[in-house]
Amino acid sequence: MPYIGCQLNKKLTKDQAYRIERRMGKSIELFEGINEEVLMVAVQDDTSMTFKGDAEVPMAFLDVRILSKALKDDQDFAIPAKDMMKIIEEEAGVPEENIYITFASVKNWGRKHGDLYML
C-alpha cells in the first residue's frame, strides 16, 4: 500500500502531472515485491514553498510511504530516490539539487477490502 506525494512550486500542465503519476508507478516497482497496482500518487503543483529562503527557484518535496512489512530489512532507498528525482527533473524541470525526498515505513495502514477494513 505505497503512497507518493509530490509537492512542487511550479505550475504543471495536466499532461506533465499525468506523466509524473505514471512514471512514479514504475519507479515504485524498484522496491522488491511492491507494484503499481496498489499505489496512490498525489501531485500538488503551484504550491507556496521556499527553498533556502527563496520562493522563486523551482523546488519539489517528495513524500514516499510504504507499508513496513512490505520492505526488506536491508532495503536500499538510493536507487528509487534517484529515479524519482530524475522523473521530477525531466517532467517538471526542477533540478535534482532542489528536490527533497523522504521515505517512511508505515506500520499500520487501513483501506477497505471487500467487506472488511484492513489495518
Percent of the chain topping pLDDT 90: 64
Lowest mean pLDDT segment, chosen from 64-68, 74-78, 81-85, 91-95: 74-78
CB burial of 78-103 (b: ≥16 within 10 Å; e: otherwise) equals eebbebbbebbbebbebeeebbebeb
Give the pLDDT band (50/70/90) at residue 23. Answer: very high
Determine the pLDDT at residue 35.
Answer: 84
pLDDT of 113 higher than 80: no
Determine the pLDDT at residue 30.
Answer: 87
Domain holding 103: CATH number? Answer: 3.30.429.10
Determine the pLDDT at residue 117.
Answer: 62
Number of domains comprising the chain: 1
- Domain containing 41: what range? 3-118
pLDDT of 50 higher than 80: yes
> What would the grid cell of residue 47 be?
504550491
Give the pLDDT band (50/70/90) at residue 59. Answer: very high
How far is residue 112's CA from residue 62's CA, in Å, rounded to a whole number?
Answer: 26
